[in-house]
Amino acid sequence: MDSDDVWNKYVQANPKAACYKNKEVKNWEAILTIYSKDHATGDGAMTGAESAAQPIELDEVVVEASPELPPKRQRTGDAILCMLGEMKGSFQDAMKSLEPLELPKVTPLEILAALEKIPDLARSDMLRAYGKLILSERLFQALMELPMEFRKEWLLMLNEKNNV
């Protein structure tokens, strides 16, 4: 802004501009370059439109040699094959989730036979334990590792723990 007097006259003519007095205009230098009236006016000066409209004469065109740039490195076939191999591996991993689950090694009949061998195990306790053991082969293996005299008490504790 040239002076306060100029600003005041501008605000009288444009009252909505008063709020911009102390605001910074970002990219002001670029805006000046694009929209300013400072440009060549001497012999041969042209606007962009005039320059575009002028036909190019081949004998006047001076082509400057471009600097030598290193050639872009091309992808090799090995790199592409490597990427395909990685995609194949990740696809196979994704497909594993669709494979059928491994069947348990212990059958429900074996579980029932093992429970019937436990002395003095009430029928309701046997059924509750059976329901848990057919869902977890690991629990059945734990039961079978216990000595016979501990199995009933362990099953009862297992039933109480899940009923609370």
- Residue 27 falls in which region: left (phi positive, over 0), alpha (psi -120 to 50) or beta: left
Cα–Cα dist 88/96, whole Å = 12
Q: Is the pLDDT of residue 27 over 90?
A: no
SS3 34: helix
Of the chain, the percentage scoring pLDDT greater than 70 comes to 62
The reply to whether 16 falls in a domain is yes
Give the rounded distance of the alpha carbon of 65 from its chain centre.
45
Q: Which of the listed ranges 5-9, 13-17, 49-53, 124-128 does the model predict with the highest average pLDDT?
A: 124-128
51 within some domain: no
In a domain, 135, yes or no: yes
Task: For 80-112, give the secondary structure using H, E and C.
Answer: HHHHHHHHHHHHHHHHHCCCCCCCCCCCHHHHH
Please report whether residue 130 resides in a domain: yes
Q: Residue 147: name the closest of 119, 125, 128 by CA.
A: 119
Q: Bigger pLDDT: 56 or 108?
A: 108
Mean pLDDT of the chain: 77
- Coil, strand or helix: which one is 134? coil
83 in a domain, yes or no?
no
What backbone torsions phi and psi does residue 97 show, to the nearest 5 degrees? -70, -15
Looking at per-residue confidence, does 10 or 66 come out higher? 10
Distance CA 130, CA 108 (A): 8
Question: Shortest CA distance to 111 belongs to which of 136, 90, 93, 92?
Answer: 136
> Domain limits at 124?
108-163
Residue 159 lies in a domain: yes
**Residue with more model confidence, 2 or 160:** 160
Counted residue by residue, the chain has a size of 164
Residue whose tokens read 């001497």: 42
pLDDT at 96: 66
Domain count, the chain: 2
What pLDDT, in 10s, does the model give residues 31-90? 777 776 666 667 777 766 676 677 766 555 556 666 677 766 655 666 666 666 666 666
pLDDT at 164 over 60: no
| pLDDT: which is higher, 112 or 91 | 112
In-domain check, residue 70: no
Decide if 141 is inside a domain. yes
- Tokens for 90, please give them: 């990740």
pLDDT at 63 (0 to 100):
60
Q: What pLDDT, on a 0 to 100 scale, did the predictor assign at position 4?
A: 83
